[in-house]
Amino acid sequence: MPEGASLLGFVAAALIVLLIPGPAVLYVVARSLSQGHRAGFVSVLGLSAGALVHVAAAAAGLSAILLASAAAFSIVKMLGAAYLIYLGIRAILDRRPAAAMGTPDPRTAYRLFTDGVMISVLNPKIAVFFLAFLPQFVDPGRGAVPQQVLLLGTLYVVIAIVTDGAYALLSGHLRNLFRGRLAQGPVPRYASGAVYIGLGVRTALVDRQTE
């Protein structure tokens, strides 16, 4: 594990990265606005579980393989983009009342979680990010590099749960404030659908050299 100063630097850098709204934050906000903060929290856990897959891959060196192989990167990228666009179209076409969507049953929570996992796992940009970000804080003189990458990556995911959870809570609170015309109308599903489709298009356009 890195020494104290290096660890504090890692935490500070992770907080800066995570507090700036990105695709994961937009996804969590969309879920929270459409179904409430509980749905947002479940989505955060799903995204985090998927991120742990990338952390394990980075520790094992698989992310380097993905980054080096144009074919592998393109396949994963297009699968992820297609899945996001599918979620967006499904959200826009869903005609159920917003009130019904606001009280998800266990099956819905399971779907929220698995959607988050799939979106995270099928986002090759996360693999590129961990491969570029984590090694900066690894000290080969302080133990096995794979173990350090795994520990730092897990710490990053824990911090992400806290920051993304805060966005979910804030978005859910805003949804409650505007419960009525906004919450019961088509705006939430149109907004969330547009976010998913936008993220899908962005994922499809990601280049291997882009962080």
Domain ranges of the chain: 25-205
**CA proximity to 66, closest of 53, 47, 81:** 53
The per-residue pLDDT for range 48-57, each reduced to its tens digit, is 999 999 999 8
With bands split at pLDDT 50, 70 and 90, how would you rate the model's confidence at 72?
low
Please tell me which residue, 145 or 10, carries the higher pLDDT value.
10
The whole-model pTM stands at: 0.70
pLDDT at residue 104, rounded to an integer: 38
Token pair belonging to 210? 């882009």
Torsion of CA 124, 129, 132, 138, to 10 degrees: -120
Q: Does 170 score more than 80 pLDDT?
A: yes
Q: Does 180 score more than 50 pLDDT?
A: no
Q: Are 189 and 34 in contact (CB under 8 A)?
A: yes
